């Protein structure tokens, strides 16, 4: 490649919904005539793509429908052996006659420099422009045209989200730059002979030299003495560190006629900093909704638990938010901080709001109890398989839409009584309060494959089940076997299962919502009698299956959410199960 050009990127374009690549593309920038590539956003963006095999082909775009940054002079070349790429570009750019005054094609090829579809990412446009042929061939193609032969050059431009700023000529009301001091930047050898005050022995030597005629001329001495006298006055009459009560004195007048001085000291106020749009690197952005505790930000711990920031810090930030809201509320009603009753009203609003939101002042910790839905999802033998395929694509239809096919008992889901009871309640007929409640987790991890869970295993929890179910709430009993770790394997089908008498004991203890981390509370086999299903659902209860991460909520006071989809007349529904609790110090 010639020395006047720099290779920015060499690679291919990947087509949407296809494994075919348009290879043989090279992006180069002209570096002659003192071009500054560091101030060329397009060149820097393409340089950062080095090492990537391909960029994303997004489709065609009309040049007049987008804002383009033509600065940079980035050219695109196609390798002579890349036949498919050349044919594709010819069909897009050469099929329509070029009639524009700037001799550019009406359409261009839009290319993305990012893997995401975010509108804020950098996109470029490859277009063509007719230019005079630099090296006409010895045997030109026969033509009846008498015009100069032209060649279609491929160029790249950066797509801007807004129109580029227009450069306007200066106007008379534009601010004038500050006038520099008279001696600023003057190249003059300093001579101590111009001083009027004594500097010791050096002053005597200076006077002696002037007496001998070796000093500067009288005119130069007079100018220097005036300037140094002004400097001496400024240095000897420096203002005090505190606020001055006197008006502008002689030291201010020595600055010249163009100096601008405030009428009174203390008038200048430091402006408030604008609100920070992005967090500092040391302060990760919190996903708490106004730090009210609806969600918590942080890294995942084992079991899907989120690590939160200090509860004291979050509580302090929440109280500060309440204080600001109280001040704004009073200001909206015409009560400012200088009002006589501001403090009393502020304290009433702040304390009342803090008391009403006392349960939300501290952050909340969340645990995901759901299994992922993907190609490895376990379904009960005989149930419909799960599939999720594109129905509409962004490149063809302008939107991404997936077609989902699955049964009502796929993944983490809940069973309604209608699942086994002919006249049982449908999933949409159950109140939402039945799916939300405090959790009681029973540790049954000692159970082996296909081992029964008998009532003796649950007897230690009987009193707790009766107490909490008798408090008027909907207690959710969760049987933790630890079998969720086998999700996606054949071992998952060999889970422990609930004995009929144990299921009856659970119902007799007042429990109406049962959750398991297995495929079913009954044994998974072709000869299963579904005794546990019939007992629990026959009592009007609800069963949640395929739960996950129950070990994370074994200890503590957790609230479990198993809210289903509102599928009218259905016997069950997939859910996004999760648990939450208030973070305590």
Q: Which of 393, 459, 307, 505 is nearest to 15 (CA)?
A: 393
Bridge partner residues of 10 (DSSP) = 26
Contacts of 456 (CB under 8 A, 6+ apart): none
Location of structure tokens 């009459």: 237
Contact 416, 542 (CB under 8 A): yes
One of 56, 107, 419, 533 is an active-site residue; which one? 419
Pairing of strands 21-30, 67-78: antiparallel
Query: Dmax of the chain from CA atoms?
Result: 127
Q: At what angle do helices 342-356 and 311-332 cross, to 10 degrees?
A: 130
Q: How many helices (H) and strands (E) does the chain have?
A: 12, 20
Contact 490, 378 (CB under 8 A): no
Q: Is 419 a residue of the active site?
A: yes
Element (H, E) at 159: strand 150-160
Pairing of strands 476-480, 436-443: parallel
For residue 88, the tally of other CB atoms under 10 A from its CB is: 18
Query: How far apart, in whole angstroms, are the C-alpha atoms of residue 346 and residue 330?
Result: 8
Contact 76, 34 (CB under 8 A): no
Q: What is the CA radius of gyration of the chain?
A: 40
| Helices marked H in 242-365 | 250-253, 311-332, 342-356
Catalytic residues: 419
């Amino acid at each position: 490649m010639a020395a006047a050009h720099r290779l920015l990127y060499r690679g291919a374009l990947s087509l949407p919904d296809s494994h075919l690549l348009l290879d043989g593309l090279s992006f180069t920038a002209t570096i002659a005539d003192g071009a500054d590539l560091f101030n060329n956003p397009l060149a820097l963006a393409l340089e950062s793509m080095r090492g990537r095999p391909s960029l994303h082909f997004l489709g065609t775009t009309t040049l007049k429908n987008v804002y383009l940054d033509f600065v940079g002079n980035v050219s695109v070349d196609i390798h002579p052996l890349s036949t498919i790429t050349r044919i594709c570009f010819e069909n897009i750019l050469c099929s329509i006659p070029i009639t524009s005054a700037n001799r550019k094609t009406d359409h261009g090829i839009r290319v993305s420099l990012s893997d995401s579809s975010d509108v804020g990412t950098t996109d470029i446009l490859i277009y063509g422009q007719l230019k005079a042929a630099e090296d006409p061939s010895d045997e030109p193609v026969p033509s009846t045209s008498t015009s100069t032969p032209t060649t279609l050059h491929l160029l790249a431009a950066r797509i801007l989200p807004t129109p580029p700023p227009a450069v306007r000529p200066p106007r008379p009301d534009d601010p004038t730059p500050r006038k520099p001091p008279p001696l600023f930047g003057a190249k003059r050898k300093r001579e101590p002979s111009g001083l009027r005050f004594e500097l010791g022995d050096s002053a005597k030597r200076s006077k002696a030299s002037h007496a001998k005629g070796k000093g500067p001329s009288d005119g130069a001495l007079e100018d220097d003495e005036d300037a140094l006298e002004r400097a001496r006055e400024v240095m000897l009459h420096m203002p005090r560190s505190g606020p001055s009560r006197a008006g502008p004195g002689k030291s201010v007048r020595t600055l010249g006629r163009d100096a601008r001085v405030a009428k009174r000291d203390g008038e200048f106020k430091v402006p408030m900093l604008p609100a920070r749009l992005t967090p500092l690197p040391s302060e990760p952005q919190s996903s708490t909704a106004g730090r009210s505790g609806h969600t918590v930000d942080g890294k995942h711990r084992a079991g899907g638990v989120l690590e939160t920031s200090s509860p004291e810090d979050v509580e302090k930030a929440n109280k500060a938010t309440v204080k600001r809201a109280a001040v704004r509320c009073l200001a909206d009603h015409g009560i400012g901080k200088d009002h006589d009753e501001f403090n009393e009203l502020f304290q009433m609003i702040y304390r009342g709001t803090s008391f009403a939101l006392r349960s939300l002042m501290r952050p909340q910790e969340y645990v995901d109890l759901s299994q992922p839905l993907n190609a490895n999802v376990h379904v009960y033998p005989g149930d419909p398989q799960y599939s999720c395929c594109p129905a509409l694509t962004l490149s063809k239809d302008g939107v991404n839409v997936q077609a989902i096919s699955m049964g009502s008992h796929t993944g983490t889901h809940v069973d309604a009584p209608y699942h086994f009871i002919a006249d049982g309640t449908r999933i949409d007929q159950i109140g939402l309060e039945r799916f939300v409640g405090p959790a009681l987790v029973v540790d049954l991890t000692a159970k082996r494959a296909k081992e029964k869970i008998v009532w003796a295993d649950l007897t230690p929890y009987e009193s707790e089940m009766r107490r909490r179910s008798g408090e008027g709430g909907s207690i959710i009993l969760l049987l933790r076997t630890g079998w969720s770790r086998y999700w996606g394997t054949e071992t998952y089908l060999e889970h422990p299962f609930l004995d009929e008498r144990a299921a009856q004991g659970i119902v007799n203890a007042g429990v109406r919502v049962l959750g398991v981390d297995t495929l079913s509370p009954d044994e998974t086999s072709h000869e299963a009698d579904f005794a546990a299903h019939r007992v629990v659902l026959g009592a009007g209860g609800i069963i949640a299956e395929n739960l996950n991460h129950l070990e994370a909520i074994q200890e503590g006071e957790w609230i479990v959410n198993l809210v289903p989809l509102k599928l009218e007349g259905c016997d069950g529904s997939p859910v996004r199960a999760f648990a939450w609790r208030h973070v305590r110090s």
